Amino acid sequence: MKRLFLALACFSSLQAAETYTEKPGKQGDGAFEVGPEYKLDPDLTDKGNAKGKTFTFSMKLADSKIFDGTDKTLEPDKKKVNTERKITVYVPAAYQDGTKAPLLVIHDGPGQLKLISHALDNLTISKDAKRKLPAFVCIAVQNGGNDGKNSQRGLEYDTMSDRLARFIHDEVLPAVLANAEIRAAYPKFALTENPWGRAVIGCSSGGAAALTMGWFRPDWFRRIIAYSGTFVDQQDDDAPEESKFPLGAWEYHSGMKLIETSELKPLRIFTHVSENDNRANDPEETYHNWVMAGMRTNVALDQKGYHHRYVFSKKTGHCDKRVFEHTLADTLVWLWRGWEG
């Protein structure tokens, strides 16, 4: 019965994508340089507008069929695995109960939720059609713990497969829809099945994970934001995926050159790298130079013909707070450009 339900859900999302069209145009596409001076965008601050509602609940890792915390690649004695993960949901004031809301999944929850909630409060009611956001629901998902190879977070974010996409689609989204507190506030609460209405944002390995979710499951997620993306070789060395993608996310732009050699996927992608991002001076053979990886990913996406926006931030570091404060409102507006849901 569950397999039938999932098959019907997949069919529904495909049907939504096939019957939906949008014309975003090319405004905002391309490469941009920011800095070295930075300021907090006023649209990412509290302007006193109506605020939405925030809901928080937890999911036990042991209850998951995809990430239960016992994967053979893990080294829990060295890198602790969490027993549960917090899910934070923000429903903007502009959301109308009963409508199928678009959504934004936020990795490393709560992540950038505070800035994004301010953007929603301010820009869903914007009178400027070119600087307006849809009333999307934010779903911030905490990672499973620690970082890097042989960690639960690394397993979730750095693995080149559809596992994370399946976890979000099959387990997190149903949990959000079934949450009693959300249902009490919004009895007809609903989320869109249209993959163009489903976005993902992350930084570092969370950024690589955002692209990987769309790359392997564009039938579920199509709008991608990756700040300081870990497009390097950080996949577990003993992961089954190593046989197919031996250099992990480095394969997107180098090695196998997946972006260049694969068919054009229905994705809208934002990427960023900082001038002083992680291991900026590492030689290529380490497969761990974030700046090199970010620049190459930009070139590959651009040459392939994706709707793509790239930001290079001067005199900043990895996942630099100043970059989010300076650019995130513009990034969100560009990401949702063309949405007609």
Stretch 52-72: mean pLDDT, rounded?
98
pLDDT tens-digit map of 276-305: 999 999 999 999 999 999 999 999 999 999
Query: Do 300 and 252 meet the contact criterion of CB atoms below 8 Å apart?
Result: yes
Query: Do 141 and 105 meet the contact criterion of CB atoms below 8 Å apart?
Result: yes
User: In the prediction, which pLDDT does 94 show?
Assistant: 98
Stretch 90-94: mean pLDDT, rounded?
98
Tell me which residue has tokens 């970010």.
294
Distance CA 65, CA 142 (A): 17
User: Taking the model in full, what pTM does it have?
Assistant: 0.95
User: In the prediction, which pLDDT does 19 show?
Assistant: 84
pLDDT tens-digit map of 19-28: 898 989 999 9
User: In the prediction, which pLDDT does 5 show?
Assistant: 47
Distance CA 142, CA 36 (A): 31
- Listed in order, strand segments (DSSP E) in the chain are 30-34, 53-60, 84-91, 100-101, 103-107, 137-141, 190-191, 198-203, 223-227, 268-274, 307-313
**Does 246 sit behind a cis peptide bond, omega within 30 degrees of 0 on the bond before it?**
no
Neighbours of 187 (CB within 10 A): 9
